[in-house]
Amino acid sequence: MRRFAVCLMLTAAVAAGAARSGSQTAAPLSGPPASEIEAVAKACDGSIRGYSIDAPLDHLLPTHGIYVEGYGAVFVTDVDLVSLPPLFGFGGHVTKADLARIHDGKLKRLPDVRKLMVQMLQGAAGMLAHLQPDEAILLQFNFYSLDMEDRTGLPKSMSVQGKKRDLLDAAARKQALDAASGLVKVRVE
């Protein structure tokens, strides 16, 4: 999925460059302005930082967003499901019990992180005023782990996506968003 997001960004950049270099005057790109995309990215960062005071997510990179004409808005960020002490593992004093506790904590956290991502997706729909109703919003978390960790059962990434119209309609009806409703697609890799 990371490759897909990078390909989308590169495709959009090449298309924009080709449009600018043409001999004809290119029509302005439709879609949300950069300020809307940046505002959603910052709101995503705030949601991740404010997720839990007692057991925060480790937000490794700021959220990056891009608008892809004809598709919608794509937002990508990197997190660790369990926030570890800053120098964890550098002294070589990591026990198997420590690693098992980290692994179990990450597994338990996945359903709650998925709920957070769906909430963030719905919030983004409300912020992207210039996104067409039939266009999509995709949010992807890439999950970090230490080389020494057991990754059994842990995904490398998770993405949620939905059409802006569906997300706003569900919010207006106070309808719960989940994969079963058919409004939000969840992909775990």
Query: Is residue 173 in some structural domain?
Result: yes
Query: Is residue 28 in some structural domain?
Result: no
Contact assessment for residue 119 and residue 47, using Cβ atoms and an 8 Å cutoff: yes
60 lies in which domain range?
33-83+97-188
pLDDT value at residue 143? 97
Measured at the CA of 143, the angle between CA 141 and CA 145, to 5 degrees, comes to 165
pLDDT value at residue 83? 87
Count of structural domains within the chain: 1
Choose the weakest-confidence range: 48-57, 87-96, 150-159.
Answer: 87-96
Query: Is residue 41 in some structural domain?
Result: yes
**pTM given for the model:** 0.82
Tens-digit pLDDT profile for residues 4-26: 544 444 454 445 555 545 445 55
Query: Is residue 10 in some structural domain?
Result: no
Facing residues of 158 across strands?
Answer: 141, 188
Which band of pLDDT confidence, cut at 50, 70 and 90, is reported for residue 2? low
Query: Is residue 114 in some structural domain?
Result: yes
Q: Is 50 helix (H, G, I), strand (E, B) or coil?
A: coil
Closest by Cα among 24, 163, 146 to 83: 146
Query: Is residue 9 in some structural domain?
Result: no
Whether residue 171 is predicted with pLDDT greater than 80 in this model: the reply is yes
Amino acid at 109: R
Query: Is residue 3 in some structural domain?
Result: no
For 104, residues 6+ apart whose C-beta sits below 8 A from its C-beta are: none
- When comparing pLDDT for 142 and 5, which is higher? 142
pLDDT value at residue 23? 47
Tens-digit pLDDT profile for residues 102-131: 999 999 999 999 999 999 999 999 999 999
The mean of the pLDDT values for the chain is: 85
pLDDT value at residue 183? 83
Contact assessment for residue 43 and residue 127, using Cβ atoms and an 8 Å cutoff: yes
Query: Is residue 61 in some structural domain?
Result: yes
Choose the weakest-confidence range: 67-76, 114-123, 161-170, 172-181.
Answer: 172-181
